[in-house]
Amino acid sequence: MDYQQLFSLKGKTALVTGGGRGLGKAMAEALAQAGANVVIADMDEGTAKQSAEELKAHQVKTLGLKLDVTLEDEVKSCINEIVSDFGAIDILVNNAGICQKITVEEQSLEDWKKTMDVNVNGVFLLSKYAGKVMKENGGGSVINVASMSSFIANTEAQCAYNASKAAVAMMTKCLASEWAPYNIRVNAIAPGYMKTEMTKPIFAPGGELAHVLDLVPMKRLGEPHELGGLAIYLASDASTFATGSTFIVDGGYTIW
């Protein structure tokens, strides 16, 4: 068995939503290093194009697109453009998401719906239309980004986020069940507290969430690159018997 070949993504095309920065960008980088052509779709078109341009250093074909994952017409247009330019979509990483830290009594219905629209409906729409392409082409891999909050209630108030990520974990199982006959595998990555440019200040000493590190057995935040290896595994032929699973990467937070 050639294990290096199993992990190779050469000739594959991956779509990463919310890939302009943070965790999405790190996973896009990992997929490109493994040989995949990468399309980065992000609300911020400039960031999407810049990040896609940086990935060309890995000698792969890239594209940066503006995409609002909550708009069905934009999703369909995005999928059609990728198929037209790349010929297929082999890997979908549903990374786009938002988190609003608002108590239930202070959260408006509009804010609740916004979280569900991005985190749940966005995953549904991208999976639906990319899944059709994968079905026509004989298979593929969908990687949803859930959260450790799919399984636990955080110490801070974020009910809508937690509920939405629990939905992503269940949607992962449902899609995996429906699409197993078509060689489409669907799994999820569930990160814990991760260090990104956006989150770094709130976890720094004196920050509003500095205390949560006491609840992490490893006593540190995760680094974005620590999701890259798992993304490659789930996207590649190394994981051909894995589907319907959610892989928690949280430094041990959910042990307790």
Residues designated catalytic:
161
Residue 146 contacts residue 169 (beta carbons within 8 Å):
yes
Cite the DSSP H helix spans in 137-219.
Answer: 159-179, 200-203
Q: Give the whole-angstrom CA distance, residue 198 versus residue 223.
A: 13
In what order do the strands lie in the sheet containing 184-191?
Answer: 62-66, 37-42, 13-17, 91-94, 140-145, 184-191, 246-249
Which residues lie below 8 Å from residue 108, measured CB to CB, with a gap of 6+?
none
Q: Give the whole-angstrom CA distance, residue 32 versus residue 232.
A: 9
Residue 130 bridge partners (DSSP): none
